Chains A and B, each alone.
Chain A
Amino acid sequence: MTLADNAAQSRANEHQTKRPSRLFKNMTAKVASIPMVLTALVVFVGCTAWTITYSFTNSRLLPRLEFVGWDQYDRLWSTRRWLISIENLAIFGICSLILSFVIGFTLAALLDRKIRGEAVFRTIFLYPFALSFIVTGLVWQWILNPDFGIQQVVRDWGWESFVFDPLNNADIVIFGILIAGIWQGSGFIMVIMLAGLRGIDEDIWKAARVDGIPTWKTYVLVIIPMMRPVFVTALVIITSGIIKVYDLVVAQTSGGPGIASEVPAKYVIEKMFQSQNLAQGFAASTMMLLSVLVVLIPWAYLEFGGKKRG
C-alpha cells in the first residue's frame, strides 16, 4: 500500500484498524498536537475537575481539602443574589439570542440586496465588535445617563415628563445592559449571516423565481434550512459569549442598582476573591458549567453523535 493511501485513510478517519505500529503512525501529527492535547486535558478537563472537587470543601481564602458535602450548594441556592443573577442571565441570554439572530439575519438580508454603499453600512454595523465590553459599557452608561443622555435630550426638545433611565431602575436595568450588548455583538452575527447568504448558489434564487415562489417563502423554506451550519456557528459564538458576560456589567452598572443587574460570573468572582470564600465561588461556577452542559450535550449528541453512527 502506498503512503498516499495510508494518509487518505487516516484522513477519512473511518477504517482505523488494528495495524501494528499504530502508535507510531502519524507520529509527527501527534507530536504537533501536543499543545492541543495538553490544553484539552490539563486546562479544560483538569482545571474543571479541580474546581468541581474543591466546590465540595470549605475552602476560604486558600484551597483546602476539608469536605463539607453539599453545603456550598445549599447556601448558593438559598442566596437571593444568586437567584437574581440566574434570572438576569436567563432574560439577557434569551433576549440577546433572539435579537442577535433577528437583527443579524435581517441586516445581512438587507445588505445582500446589491445595495449601494454596502461596505459603508457593513463597516458601521461591525465596528462595535472591535470595542471591548469595558468600552461598550462605559459609552452606554454615558448615553443612558439621565442628566446628560437621551432622557435629557428628549426633555430639552420639550417633552418634559419623558423618562428613560434604565440604569437606575431595578426593573428594567437588565434591558439597559441588553441594548449595549446587542450593539456590540450583532454586527459580527450579521457578517457571519452575510457570509452564509453569499455562499448560497445564485441558481437557487433563479429557480425559486422561475417557480414563482415568493421571496419570503424562499428565505423560510429554502435559504434558512440551507444555512444550518451558519446558524450553528452563530449559536456557538453567541451562547459562549452570554454565559461569560461580566465586563459589560461591571463597566456599565457594577451590578446595580442594588443587586438588580447581577450576573452569575460576577457572583463567582466576588465570592472567590472579595468575600474570600473560594468554595462558594467554585460551587457557583460549577453550576454555570452545569447549565452550559445541559444545553450543550443534547446539541453535541445531535451534531456529532448522530454522524458517527450514521
Chain B
Amino acid sequence: MKSFKALLGATAFVSASAAYGADLEVTHWWTSGGEAAAVAEFAKAFNEKTDHNWVDGAIAGSGGTARPIIISRILGGDPMGATQLNHGRQAEELIEAGLLLDLTDVAEAQGWRDIVFPSSLLDACTYEGRIYCAPVNIHSWQWMWLSHKAFEDAGQDVPSNWDEFVAAAPALSDAGKIPLAMGQQPWQSAGAFGVMSVAIAGLDAWRAVTVDKNAEVAAGPEYAKVFQAAADAREMAANSNVQDWNQATNLVITGQAGAQIMGDWAQGEFQVAGQTAGEDYTCLPGLGVNELLDTAGDAFYFPKQDNADVEAAQKELAALLLSPEVQVAFNLKKGSLPVRGDIDMSSANACMQKGLEILASGNVLPSGDMNLSPDTQGQIEDLMVEFWNDPSYSAADAQAAYADIIANAD
C-alpha cells in the first residue's frame, strides 16, 4: 500500500511538473547575510530542478514582524505558495481551520518517518495523524559564541564554560570590551534566559517548568540561581546598545564584545565574515555546562490553494526541501543542522560537528516553541526584555512574575 502510494505520488509529481511551471511565492524572514545566502540555495534548487519558479517574498525584521503579515494573508484569502513558520504550536489553528495543505502523501512517498531525525521534528508537524509541514533544519538556542580577539586583548584565556566566563568578565570590561553582547529585542532576551535556565537550573528543573508548567519549581531555588545569574549577565551586557541579533554577533566578530548567547544561526554570520571556528571564535554548547541541544527549527507550511497545478508545485517543493543535496547545501550556509541523520556533513566546520555529535548522542530537548503557546512566550518575552534592560528590576521580583506566567500558562 505504501509503495503504491509512493509510486502514485511520484508519477503525480512528474506529470504535474511536465505540464505546467508554476510561480510559487515563498515568504520567509531570512534576511541577514548568512540567512539570505542559505535561502538562495533553496531558490536555486527549486528553479533548476523543477519547472517551477521561486518567487522570493522575504519580509525583513524578525519572525515577529513577518508572522502577522503571513497569517493575515492566509486568513485574507491571499495565501502564498509556501511560508516559513517555526513549527510547533504556532500553526495549530490554521490547520484546524483547514487553511494548510496536507502533506501526508508527500511525507509517505519520501519516507519522512524514517529519515527525519530526531523524530520529534516531524511530530511537531503532525496534527491528528496528518503531516502539515516540512521541517528544513534544526536550530538550537543552546550556544555561546566567544571572540578570541576580545579575550586576547584583555589578556585572558578563552573560557570553556559559563563560570570561567563570569570570572573573566571584569578583565574584559577593564580592557574596554563589552563582556556580553545582547541585542535588545524581546525574543533575544527571552532566548538567552532560556539557555541560562537549562544550563544553570539543570535539565530536570527546566523540564518541570517548561514542559509540565510547574510554577512551584519556577519560584524555587534552582530558578532563583538562574535569575541571579541573569541579573549578573545584565550588568555584563549593560553597554551593548544594539537592536538586532546580528549586530550583537558583529560585536563578537570584531572583538568589541567577549561573547554572545545566541542560537546556532549566529554561525552563518561568522562564516560570512570569513572566520574559522577554533581559531577566531569558539562555540560552547549549553554554555559549556550541560552539553544539550534543543531541537527547535524552521519549517515550511503550504497554505491551501484552489489551483491543482500550484498544489503539485507545492508538493514538489516540500519533497525538494528535504532532499539530501538541498539539505546539505542549505544547512552549511545557514549554520544549522540538517533534519536527516543519513547525509554526509563532513564538510561542516568544527562547531557544526560538535552539534552533530550531540544530536547523534541523543542529548536533545524539546524546544520552547513546541511546549509553550505563542501567547505565553509573548508574556515571557515582555518580562525578560524588561528585566534585561532595567537594572532596578530585582531578580526576585522577576522570578515572581515569571512563576505567575508559568502558573497561568497554557
Q: Taking the complex as formed, is B394 at the interface, i.e. its CB lies under 8 A from any CB of chain A? A: no
Q: Taking the complex as formed, is A146 at the interface, i.e. its CB lies under 8 A from any CB of chain B? A: yes
Point out the residues of chain B lying under 8 angstroms from A60, CB to CB.
93, 373, 375
Judging by beta carbons under 8 Å apart, are A277 and B385 in contact?
no
B73 to chain A, nearest CB (A): 11
Binds B, one of A112-120, A156-164, A250-258, A285-293: A250-258
Q: Interface SS of chain A: helix, strand, loop or mixed?
A: loop
Point out the residues of chain B lying under 8 angstroms from A230, CB to CB.
none
Q: Taking the complex as formed, is A271 at the interface, i.e. its CB lies under 8 A from any CB of chain B? A: yes
Chain B window 377-410, contacts with chain A (Cβ cutoff 8 Å), 1 for yes, 0 for no: 1110011011111100000000001000000000
Judging by beta carbons under 8 Å apart, are B386 and A259 in contact?
yes
B247 to chain A, nearest CB (A): 12
Q: Taking the complex as formed, is B184 at the interface, i.e. its CB lies under 8 A from any CB of chain A? A: yes
Docked complex Cα distance between A273 and B74 (Å): 13
Docked complex Cα distance between A35 and B378 (Å): 40
Q: Taking the complex as formed, is B90 at the interface, i.e. its CB lies under 8 A from any CB of chain A? A: yes
Candidates A254, A269, A273, A275; contact of B184 at CB < 8 Å: A254
Ordered nearest first, which 3 A-B pairs have the shortest CB separation? A273-B68, A258-B389, A275-B378
Judging by beta carbons under 8 Å apart, are B71 and A259 in contact?
no
Residue positions of B touching A, CB distance < 8 A: 64, 67-68, 71-72, 75, 90, 92-94, 96-97, 184-185, 241, 243, 373-375, 377-379, 382-383, 385-390, 401
Interface size class of A (residues with CB under 8 A): 20 to 34
- The winner among A146, A256, A260, A271 for most chain B CB atoms within 10 A is A256
- The winner among B64, B92, B401 for most chain A CB atoms within 10 A is B64
B133 to chain A, nearest CB (A): 15
Q: Taking the complex as formed, is A276 at the interface, i.e. its CB lies under 8 A from any CB of chain B? A: yes
Docked complex Cα distance between A254 and B67 (Å): 17
Chain A window 41-83, contacts with chain B (Cβ cutoff 8 Å), 1 for yes, 0 for no: 0000000000000000000111000000000000000011100
B396 to chain A, nearest CB (A): 16
Point out the residues of chain A lying under 8 angstroms from B387, CB to CB.
258
Point out the residues of chain A lying under 8 angstroms from B375, CB to CB.
60, 275-277, 280
Point out the residues of chain B lying under 8 angstroms from A87, CB to CB.
none
Q: Interface SS of chain B: helix, strand, loop or mixed?
A: helix
Candidates B184, B373, B378, B386; contact of A80 at CB < 8 Å: B386
A274 to chain B, nearest CB (A): 5
Residue positions of A touching B, CB distance < 8 A: 60-62, 79-81, 146, 168, 170, 254, 256-260, 269-277, 280
Residue of A nearest to B91 (CB): A61
Judging by beta carbons under 8 Å apart, are B243 and A272 in contact?
no
Candidates A62, A170, A273, A277; contact of B67 at CB < 8 Å: A273
Candidates B71, B72, B383, B385; contact of A256 at CB < 8 Å: B385
Point out the residues of chain A lying under 8 angstroms from B90, CB to CB.
61, 276
Judging by beta carbons under 8 Å apart, are B390 and A258 in contact?
yes
Please, could you name 11 A-B residue pairs with CB atoms under 8 Å apart, sorted by A? A60-B93, A61-B90, A61-B92, A61-B94, A256-B243, A258-B385, A259-B385, A271-B378, A272-B68, A275-B374, A277-B374
- The winner among B71, B374, B386 for most chain A CB atoms within 10 A is B386
Docked complex Cα distance between A61 and B385 (Å): 24
Judging by beta carbons under 8 Å apart, are B71 and A254 in contact?
no
Docked complex Cα distance between A256 and B384 (Å): 12
A134 to chain B, nearest CB (A): 12
